[in-house]
Amino acid sequence: MTTNKGKLTLVLLLGYHSLLIAQNTWTTYTTSNSGISGNHLNVVKIDGHQKKWIGTSSSDTRGSLNIFNDTSWVIYNVDNSSYPGENNYDMAIDANDTKWIGTSSGLVKFESNGGWTLFSKFNSGLPDNHIRCIQIDSDGNKWIGTDKGGLAFFDDNSWVVYDTVNSQIPYNEVACIGIDHNDIVWTGHNGAFATFDGTNWTVTNTPGGSGVSAFYVDENNNIWTAYYSTVRKYDGSQWTSYHSNNWGASFDFIQSITKDLTGNIWIGTTQSGLVKFTGTDWEVFDTSNSGITSNFIFSIAIDGNNQKWIATDNGLAVLKESVVNSISKKKSKVSTFEIYPNPASDNVTIDFSSFTDRVNFIFVKNIVGEEVKSYQPKGEKRFQFSTSFLPSGIYTVELAMNETILQQKLVIK
């Protein structure tokens, strides 16, 4: 592990009457300074317990699954587990903390109890073993994009495949998937994107036939998507485009988009490195001006402390944007939330639809304050989870926002 501090930045926030002194701290993990199994990293995800799940490429080592709890590493590969040991292209984590991993050998299911299942075209309804992307909708259904077999749907019992023969999906190669708050599925292809509402497909050709490489759905249901050098945002009625010229590159290829806990957009590119967009200003972090280990970025994840975890082709980089001095803070406007049914015995719904602030995490704690479960909402205003894992008793449900924590009691019958 290597740590270094970046430049100091003075920021005057108008309306806050505050002077902030910010300093960036970079930490890097490579095979030479940590227990990570490889340097070429395809994907990074963070679960509700804040563990980092990192998938490596088979280009510099046999593909493996790395788990990091900020202290120690656990590595799964073909030698010590049922992990197939191939490229890991994408990953999704469901409400039961089960990891769904897209590899070049099929779809891997890794349960929290340590159980492994490999779904392939030989033992399931999966149409192609090469998984490019995966997303999970609000009902827990898995949507899997394949390299040549189209889009697969899996509800834990049965499979449905959408391809160019039996549907209006424009191509069988699915590069990326996004699912909005209405459970509309967005699929990205080379030359087009499509939306699917469960019945009807709508296909839109991209400008110049550009390939769609990434989707991100924010808490306001804005759809952020990437076509080669362009990021576009759709607010439900119109599109806004941002070209790589905005951050000083004549051409770039965008691999990933996400949003942090304070509303900044982060873009991972293959030439410029990491790009930050505040909504008005652009900032680039590359190997010449920061502690990032490579300008080729595959994946970005944001943890509960708003740190950025960046998977590159030369290790894992972590960016902590620290505020050294702050005179005052703007307060959040929030109201109470509802839990129903309460008492509960099967499923419970957390309703925070009246909030204007984003809920970053939901924690369930026992009567002595120990965390027994955590969830990370994806922008929805109502969140449901099963209570089957909770013994009868009194619990606390805690909602964590940027500047506010709210609590309510939950009774399990």
The pLDDT-based confidence of 5 (bands split at 50, 70, 90) is: low
Q: Answer with the residue of higher pLDDT: 75 or 210.
A: 75
Query: 187 and 299 share a domain?
Result: yes
Q: Is residue 11 part of a domain?
A: yes
Query: 112 and 243 share a domain?
Result: yes
Last residue of a domain, one of 283, 303, 325: 325
For the stretch 124-143, pLDDT in tens is: 999 999 999 999 998 999 99
Q: What percentage of the chain carries pLDDT values higher than 70?
A: 90
SS3 209: helix
Q: Is residue 82 part of a domain?
A: yes
Q: What are phi and psi of 244, to 5 degrees?
A: -60, -20
Query: 12 and 109 share a domain?
Result: yes
Q: Is residue 185 part of a domain?
A: yes
Query: 168 and 314 share a domain?
Result: yes
Please state the pTM of the whole predicted model. Answer: 0.78
For the stretch 335-389, pLDDT in tens is: 578 999 989 888 899 998 888 778 888 989 887 677 788 888 887 889 999 988 8
- pLDDT for 325 equals 42
Query: 291 and 380 share a domain?
Result: no
- pLDDT for 3 equals 67
Query: 385 and 277 share a domain?
Result: no
Count up the domains in the chain and report the number. Answer: 2
Bridge-based pairing of strands 151-154 and 274-277 is unpaired
Query: 260 and 355 share a domain?
Result: no
Query: 354 and 314 share a domain?
Result: no
- pLDDT for 49 equals 86
Mean pLDDT rounded to a whole number for the chain: 88
- pLDDT for 403 equals 62
Q: Is residue 86 part of a domain?
A: yes
**Half-sphere exposure at residue 372, Cβ-oriented, CA atoms within 13 angstroms:** 16
Query: 348 and 287 share a domain?
Result: no
For residue 27, pLDDT over 70 is answered with: yes
Containing domain of residue 234, as a range?
Answer: 2-325
The full 3-state SS of 362-409, as one line of letters, equals EEEECCCCCEEEEECCCCCCEEEEECCCCCCEEEEEEEECCCCEEEEE
- Tell me the CATH number at 105: 2.130.10.10
- Tell me the CATH number at 388: 2.60.40.10
For residue 12, pLDDT over 60 is answered with: no
The pLDDT-based confidence of 85 (bands split at 50, 70, 90) is: confident
Q: Is residue 330 part of a domain?
A: no
For residue 400, pLDDT over 50 is answered with: yes
For residue 59, pLDDT over 90 is answered with: no
For the stretch 247-291, pLDDT in tens is: 988 778 999 999 998 889 999 999 999 999 999 999 999 999 999
Query: 50 and 85 share a domain?
Result: yes
Q: Is residue 333 part of a domain?
A: no
Query: 366 and 263 share a domain?
Result: no
Query: 269 and 389 share a domain?
Result: no
For 68, the token pair is: 């990091």
Q: Is residue 296 part of a domain?
A: yes
Q: Is residue 369 part of a domain?
A: yes
For residue 102, pLDDT over 60 is answered with: yes
